């Protein structure tokens, strides 16, 4: 699987993501500027965290209308894999590739701290190196991580088993049903609010997030 990282103005986690991917894949990922529309040779599109376009209007709203997003929609229609972390998750919801929206944290404060995530399913290319119900550490760094959807959408996500991860300790941002990450209906797109790429090496303070990237590299 060949990875590529999409870079928007204001994104600031592309280097962290590149380190995580290179550790697992054994090669440097391709950096894709937001005005590019050629994703040939890319199997996994990664949209990292940060503040795309300064988070003006709404987080991810402007990035969702960048030229590259047309190519990403085509990539998704072909069954390609997509991973969106933090601002990437916000962009995926703004682009209609995942349901719901990410609102201001319930505290109205930016949250920067560790959190505990619970793995809800392991029969996907993203999660198969975790154990179902496993709790692992990840890093929260967001001001708009409060996942919201109407009750009908939430019931559908639960019924179709599309919740990837939940907050297992305190649901500090107020996300509906403690949802921290979601799959698309075909389970080839994952949006996740906390940052697994911040914990992929003991030198970072732990490697709790590495199984996600190792699983993708093994696909």
What does the pLDDT look like over 61-99, one tens digit per residue?
A: 999 999 999 999 999 999 999 999 999 999 999 999 999
Say whether pTM exceeds 0.95. Answer: yes
Which listed residue (75, 86, 115, 142) is catalytic?
A: 86
Confidence of residue 199 (pLDDT cuts 50, 70, 90): very high
Confidence of residue 216 (pLDDT cuts 50, 70, 90): very high
Known catalytic residue at 75: no
Q: Which residues contact 153 (CB under 8 A, 6 or more apart)?
A: 99, 100
Known catalytic residue at 195: yes
pLDDT at 196: 98
pLDDT at 44: 98
Domains of the chain: 3-218 (3.40.50.880)
pLDDT at 10: 95
Which listed residue (14, 94, 120, 197) is catalytic?
A: 197
């Amino acid at each position: 699987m060949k990875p590529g990282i999409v870079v928007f103005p204001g994104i600031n986690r592309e280097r962290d993501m590149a380190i995580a991917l290179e550790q697992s894949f054994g090669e440097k990922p391709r950096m894709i500027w937001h005005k590019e529309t050629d994703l040939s040779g890319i199997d996994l599109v990664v949209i990292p965290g940060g503040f795309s376009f300064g988070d003006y209007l709404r987080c991810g709203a402007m990035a969702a209308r960048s030229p590259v997003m047309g190519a990403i929609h085509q990539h998704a229609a072909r069954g390609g894999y997509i991973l969106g972390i933090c601002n990437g998750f916000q962009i995926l919801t703004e682009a209609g590739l995942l349901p719901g929206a990410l609102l201001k944290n319930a505290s109205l404060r930016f949250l920067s701290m560790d959190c505990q995530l619970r793995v809800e399913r392991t029969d996907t290319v993203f999660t198969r190196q975790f154990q179902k119900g496993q709790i692992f550490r990840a890093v929260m760094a967001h001001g708009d991580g409060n996942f919201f959807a109407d009750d009908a959408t939430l019931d559908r996500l639960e019924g179709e088993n599309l919740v990837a991860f939940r907050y297992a300790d305190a649901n500090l941002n107020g996300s509906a049903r403690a949802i921290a990450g979601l799959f698309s209906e075909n389970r080839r797109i994952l949006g996740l609010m906390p940052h697994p790429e911040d914990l992929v090496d003991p030198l970072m303070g732990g490697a709790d997030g590495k199984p996600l990237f190792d699983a993708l590299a093994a696909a």
